[in-house]
Amino acid sequence: MKNLIIASTSTVHDSSYLEYLLPELENHFNGCETILFIPYARPGGITYDDYTAKVSEAFAKINKKVKGIHQYFDPVIAIQNAEAIFTGGGNTFLLVHTLYEHELMQKLADVLENGIPYLGTSAGSNIAGVSMQTTNDMPIIYPSSFKTLGLFPFNLNPHYLDPVENSTHMGETRETRIKEYHKFNKVPVVGLREGSWLEIKGDTITLRGEYKARLFRQNHEAVELPTNELLSFL
């Protein structure tokens, strides 16, 4: 049975890394001693070791150890033997490229379908949907496929931003970009605002956190989804 927390972001305003999620994560990872961390998205080009150290510092607050997947001789075996897994944010193109490069995408999907507790934030959440095509990231590297884990039948747009009234910004809004996606694709998209996450237990998907999410479907008007709403209908 799937056991996932899929968060828009790792850090909200005026808080430390993962701080807003730690009470939830303490329960989510209950019974797990060590969390396998996948640092492949490398935000800002940070090294795997430095990224893992940052994550270790956060999880130490709830008495969890962290080991980076890069510290294992065989990353496939690391995933298959993991008690729990966290994939952090950064660049989704780089993350997907590296998962395919090491032949890990399907292996990761398999263990998560079988119930290994998982946390994704930002890019690590982007990969949980059908494809990575609704990421906000720059295409800094070319992955072999846009297809991702497919743990639920829709895509995410993490860090979703609403248009700012009276803004002089001339670029496209997030909503405009998602509408462009729906000119060619039928997969629904959930715009997940910062501070919100999806809690997935088996086939039950629930929106959690402070904020509503925004649901986009091809040939439909966008609608707001209230917190604690079940998204299993998607």
Judge whether residue 72 has pLDDT over 90. Answer: yes
Residue 122 a catalytic site member: yes
d(CA 167, CA 211): 22
The confidence band for 168, taking pLDDT boundaries of 50, 70 and 90, is low
Q: Is residue 217 part of a domain?
A: yes
SS3 69: helix
Q: Is residue 230 part of a domain?
A: no
Partnered with residue 213 across adjacent β-strands are 225
Q: Exposed/middle/buried for 4, CB within 10 Å: 0-12, 13-18, 19+?
A: buried
- Reported as a single tens digit per residue, the pLDDT across 33-65 is 999 999 999 999 999 999 999 999 999 999 999
How many domains does the chain fold into?
1
pTM here? 0.95
Judge whether residue 170 has pLDDT over 60. Answer: no
Q: What is the mean pLDDT of residues 117-141?
A: 97
Residue 137 a catalytic site member: yes
Give the total residue count for the chain: 234
Q: Is residue 192 part of a domain?
A: yes
pLDDT for position 24: 95
The confidence band for 187, taking pLDDT boundaries of 50, 70 and 90, is very high
Q: Which of 8, 28, 125, 137 is catalytic?
A: 137
Q: Is residue 231 part of a domain?
A: no
pLDDT for position 12: 87
Judge whether residue 133 has pLDDT over 80. Answer: yes
- Reported as a single tens digit per residue, the pLDDT across 189-212 is 999 999 999 999 999 999 999 899
Partnered with residue 131 across adjacent β-strands are 147
CATH number at residue 117: 3.40.50.880
d(CA 19, CA 14): 10
d(CA 19, CA 164): 27
Pure H helices in the chain: 22-28, 48-59, 75-80, 92-101, 105-113, 123-126, 174-181
Q: Is residue 89 part of a domain?
A: yes
d(CA 37, CA 226): 31
pLDDT for position 167: 64
Cβ atoms within 10 Å, residue 222: 13
With contact defined as beta carbons under 8 Å apart, do 109 and 80 qualify?
Answer: no
Partnered with residue 204 across adjacent β-strands are 201
With contact defined as beta carbons under 8 Å apart, do 66 and 59 qualify?
Answer: yes
Residue 43's domain spans which residues? 3-225
pLDDT for position 116: 97
Q: Is residue 18 part of a domain?
A: yes
Residue 14 a catalytic site member: no
Q: Which of 8, 10, 28, 122 is catalytic?
A: 122
Q: What is the mean pLDDT of residues 146-158?
A: 97
pLDDT for position 63: 97
Judge whether residue 163 has pLDDT over 80. Answer: no
